Structure 1
Amino acid sequence: MPGLISFMLTRFVAGAGLGCIAGLVIWNNGFLRMSAASSTDYYLAQGLFVYLFASTMGLGYMATALMLDDD
């Protein structure tokens, strides 16, 4: 695998992992008072909320790492 692709993938996965942790902490601490109609809706909302944080932080972490890389 070329160096740039592995660099981008590792940075994106690291950022997405941090985003998942942040999303789960915010969801589980009750900062948001979410009430859903059923348990399926609750889990769907939680998954989308965590995905929101994971994708945003993953792309941000990767873009910042690419910008600050001085090769």
Structure 2
Amino acid sequence: MPRMISFILTRLATGFAIGCAVGFVVWQNGLLTTTTTAGTHYLAQGLFIYFFASTMSVGYLATALLLEEE
């Protein structure tokens, strides 16, 4: 696999993993304030984590491309 494709896929996957972890923590600690809705909005939670992770992955890739010095 060419180095650029490997670089892009590695950075996107790493950023997505970081975004998933952070999105999950934000959802669990910050958004659910009432106990009546806890655990009932799985689709909303999944979409929130996915959108958070996809945004973080693109940002991580952009930052890595900006700071790469080769």
Percent of aligned pairs with the same amino acid: 56
TM-score of the superposed pair, with normalisation by structure 2: 0.86
**Structure 2: how far apart are the matches of 1:26 and 1:33?**
9
The number of residues matched between the two structures is 67
Deviations along 1:7-53, one digit per CA (max 9) or x if unpaired, are 01001100000000001001112x113749xx4xx110000000111
Q: Which aligned runs of 4 or more in structure 1 are off by greater than 6 angstroms?
A: none
1:63 and 2:62 correspond: yes
Aligned residue in 1 for 2:27: 27
Pairs within 5 Å for 1:1-71:
1-29=1-29, 31-33=30-32, 35=37, 39=40, 42-71=41-70
**Structure 2: how far apart are the matches of 1:51 and 1:19?**
8
* Structure 2 portions without partners, runs of 5+: none
**Structure 1: how far apart are the matches of 2:62 and 2:18?**
15
TM-score of the superposed pair, with normalisation by structure 1: 0.85
The alignment yields a C-alpha RMSD, in angstroms, of 1.8
